[in-house]
Amino acid sequence: MKIGLALGGGAARGLAHIGVLQVLEREGIPIHVIVGCSIGAVIGGVYAQTRSVEAVKEVAYQMLKSEAVEKMGLDFMGEEGFRLPEDAGLEDIFNYLKLHFSLIKVFNKPYFFDPELVDALFAPISTARIERFPIKFAAVATDLIAAEEVLIQKGPLRDAVRASSAIPGVFPPFEKDDRLLVDGSSTNTVPAQEVRDLGADVVIAVDVSKDIHRIGKLDNALNILYRVDEIASHLLTRQRLHAADVIIRPHVGNVVWADFDRIEELIQKGRDAAESRLPLIQQMLTAPAWSWKRRWQSVRRKLTGWIRST
């Protein structure tokens, strides 16, 4: 029986993936397929190459404690649209103004951070080729020109995660094979079906998306646009999760996407969530009925693919 992981996008919230991997590795649960989106591609890609969660954690720390992150100043980028809190203090007001004046940059170019700074951020990621990894791996990206999802299964890992993590308007789009690629979250936040398509019999999906709540007054056009995008992302994630057998949801939905300073807390939240789903995972891996059911689904999927290709 092949086990696959779908690691979803969510920027800082995705650090919880490390905690999930720690639990699976500790329990000796073998992983045969990983498909990641954005931060899920970063963490999943390093794990697929090294099969070591400690190696993943080391790379994460190298990236997040780098000079590039310090220069980016991600701490002032919030995730609540363009509204200043009613109880705002001096620091809140400063960050609010800093964000608004910084946004003027994007009116003259298609990204916020320069390519050289982004190159430095991703420097700790290996350039080893994906197709040679001991665990089958793919990264999800979005082609801006063709308006379609792209599954990257070959080439250097660094290129794959750069493409999958290119937040639109924030990081430069990544050019690959005549495609202009950006963050995979635009089309597939949690790529559960792709994990199954790559041969997994049991699909474990880790959803680290933002909480969505009923909100109050929407007092400007930018807040409305932000809310529409938030709703679309939420509904897309729900749809994609239908292909998963087990869904792990770390309690990180209230964490701001740029809050990378909480790495140990987020890893712990991933461990807690994985622990809570561990009995179900172990049950699936030992139940004969489940094994036969998934084998039949695998055969049926291959037959369907063969029929469509003829």
Give the active site residues. Answer: 38, 183
Cα dist from 66 to 28, 111, 159, 260, whole Å: 32, 21, 19, 12
| Residue 250 near residue 16 (C-beta atoms within 8 A) | yes
The helix or strand, by DSSP H or E, that contains position 183, with its residue range, turns out to be strand 179-183
Query: Parallel, antiparallel, or unpaired: how do β-strands 3-7 and 33-37 relate?
Result: parallel
Residue 126 has, within 13 A of its CA and on its CB side, a CA count of 18
The tokens for 298 are: 């695998």
Length of the chain: 310
64 C-beta neighbours (distance < 10 Å), count: 18
Q: Is 152 helix (H, G, I), strand (E, B) or coil?
A: strand
SS3 148: strand
- The answer to whether the CB of 250 falls within 8 A of the CB of 269 is yes
